[in-house]
Amino acid sequence: MEIVKKAEPPAGLGRLLFRLPIHLYRIGLGWLFGRRLVLINHVGRVTGKTRQVVVEVVESGPAGVVAASGFGTGAAWYRNVLHQPQVTIQIGTRTIPVTAVPLPPGEGADVFARYASRHRWAARVLLPRLMGFQVDGSEADFRAAGERIPFVRFVPRSG
């Protein structure tokens, strides 16, 4: 695994395209994404205003939904959910109250290795383009990348 560039959030037209799923969720079309994308409703740590972001579900199960901060620990949504972990997520048309729990690097390695085995193309092609990692396709390389990617598990809570 090699870092080939610093991951930067998109600007201009790229930002508009990345934010398009938020607008689709807002008009009730979140079901189009199935269980692959999740809308996170969180609070800005500086402004205190409600914020939204759509991210890919890396893994899901009884313990919750796991998402990755593709633009690293500096991503606003990631810093916001660490500051105020009581958030809601929307999957399709269902809104779920959750607590955001950051994963340790070792668990991130496990999660990403499993993701890479299920979504080979995304892990091999999108990883270098979006996150700045170059991988050789081996499990060891995917695990090494997973140790550097910040992952968050959204654990369901009552109420």
What domains sit in the chain, N to C, each tagged with a CATH number? 2-156 (2.30.110.10)
User: For 36-58, how does the pLDDT look when each residue is reduced to its tens digit (9 = 90+)?
Assistant: 999 999 999 999 999 999 999 99
Which residues 6+ apart lie within 8 Å of 156 measured at CB?
Answer: 64, 96, 97, 98
pLDDT above 70: residue 88: yes
Which residues 6+ apart lie within 8 Å of 60 measured at CB?
Answer: 35, 66
pLDDT above 70: residue 77: yes
Lowest model confidence (mean pLDDT) among 125-129, 142-146, 152-156: 125-129
Tell me the mean pLDDT in the region 31-35: 94
Tell me the mean pLDDT in the region 70-95: 94
**Nearest-5° angle of CA 126, CA 1, CA 127?**
10
Say if CB 102 and CB 61 are below 8 A apart: no
Q: Which band of pLDDT confidence, cut at 50, 70 and 90, is reported for residue 11?
A: confident
Is the overall model pTM greater than 0.95, yes or no?
no
